[in-house]
Structure 1
Amino acid sequence: MRAWLAAMVLALAISVPARAGQPKLAVFDFELLDTSLQGQMSGPRKDEQERLMRAGDQLRKELAESGKFQLLDIAPVNAAAHASNLQACGGCDVKLAQQLGADLYVTGVVQKVSELILIMSISMRDAHTGNLVTAMNADLRGNNDESWSRATAYLVRNRLLAPNYGAPQPQ
């Protein structure tokens, strides 16, 4: 039932404003939640920080190319976003999206369980209310550029832009 409701809200968010113009979408940079032993011992890694930036850029590019959204520049609030944990900041994500004039906004997190097991999660929310529109995740096997890029492309193609994502299927 929840997946169906999310699909209906997403369909409304995409189709209704599209008649008057595409919904304004803010896509924040991905965050890393490193729960691995390696992360606890060594701290942040440059290659993973670069992958986070590339995944966010890829997500923005693919959503812009879909023609379904008007992507907003996050530069005016980017420093504040990076200084916060957008996944658990008590509503700062909504405030930042509203400062940009967004209708919808996307946040993402990559959880690193180990060097071989990672989980990419993407959430889309209504910027006016903060209500969740849709959420999705993909498991990655391997901490490398290719696995991150493929996971991002999969989630965009098969979840964010899929016309029937979450809709009840005929039996």
Structure 2
Amino acid sequence: MLPARLLPALAALLLPGMAAAAPEKAAVFGIELLEPGVVGGRLPRPDEARRLALATEELRKAVAVQGQLEFVDLAPKAADIRKDAPLYKCEGCAERIAKEAGAALAVYGYVQRNANQILNLSITISDTDSGKVLRGGQVVIRGDTDDTWLHGVRWLVKNRLFAEPLPSRS
């Protein structure tokens, strides 16, 4: 079996159209928590914060395997990210921050807790110039475990975000 890091190179060799396309720069933001029943929001519990970090890392790995995006460093924009959070409802701040970081695309998402064992994971890829959503998807996670969160991220990346190549914006 081939290592996952070799799959984009192999795909570029086998699919001539992919070989010509250079990866686009993307800002991949941390996955956030949304609890509609909590007025004013709250900080994630330690187990939720750990799962959000785990899901974010899985998102980065799953996106990297696709070979279509090159990540930009968001560390210099940490203060802006904290100030504008949550990104899923700031109306364009994710795209602005991503563009300032040198990215053409913004990738962000959230987990919505509907009940103790039912969550929704939503991830969006948008153009930083226009704010237009290029890809997006949502998946229901049944069960509040590391495995169910990771499975949800992998399924969403494979079946919604990169089921086909990202559309050309030219």
Provide the TM-score with structure 1 as the length reference: 0.77
Q: How far apart in 1 are the matches of 2:71 and 2:44? A: 29
Secondary structure of the 2:164 match is coil
Q: Once structures 1 and 2 are overlaid, which stretch shifts more, 54-63 or 19-28?
A: 19-28
Counterpart of 1:25 in structure 2 is 26
Ranges in structure 2 where 5+ consecutive residues have no aligned partner: 1-16
Counterpart of 2:60 in structure 1 is 60
Counterpart of 2:89 in structure 1 is 88
In structure 1, give the amino acid aligned to 2:88.
Answer: Q
Q: How far apart in 1 are the matches of 2:43 and 2:90? A: 22
- Deviation, structure 1 residue 151: 0.0
Matched, 1:159 2:153: no
- Deviation, structure 1 residue 36: 5.1
Cα-to-partner distance string for 1:121-150 (whole Å, 9 max, x where unaligned) = 001100111111111000011111011000
Percent of paired sites with the same residue: 36
User: Are 2:106 and 2:127, in contact at CA under 8 Å, matched by a contact in 1?
Assistant: yes
User: Are 1:18 and 1:68, in contact at CA under 8 Å, matched by a contact in 2?
Assistant: no
Counterpart of 1:136 in structure 2 is 137
Counterpart of 1:99 in structure 2 is 100
Cα-to-partner distance string for 1:88-128 (whole Å, 9 max, x where unaligned) = 21322121011111111111010001111100000110011
Q: How far apart in 2 are the matches of 1:73 and 1:17? A: 25
- Deviation, structure 1 residue 164: 7.7
Q: How far apart in 2 are the matches of 1:18 and 1:109? A: 32
Cα-to-partner distance string for 1:67-87 (whole Å, 9 max, x where unaligned) = 111111221113321332211
Residues 1:79 and 1:134: Cα distance change in structure 2 (over 3 Å): same
User: How many aligned positions are there?
Assistant: 149
In structure 2, give the amino acid aligned to 1:77.
Answer: K
Provide the TM-score with structure 2 as the length reference: 0.78
User: Are 2:26 and 2:107, in contact at CA under 8 Å, matched by a contact in 1?
Assistant: yes
Q: Mapping of 1:119-130 within 5 angstroms?
A: 119-130=120-131
Cα-to-partner distance string for 1:49-81 (whole Å, 9 max, x where unaligned) = 111111111111121122111111221113321
RMSD: 2.6
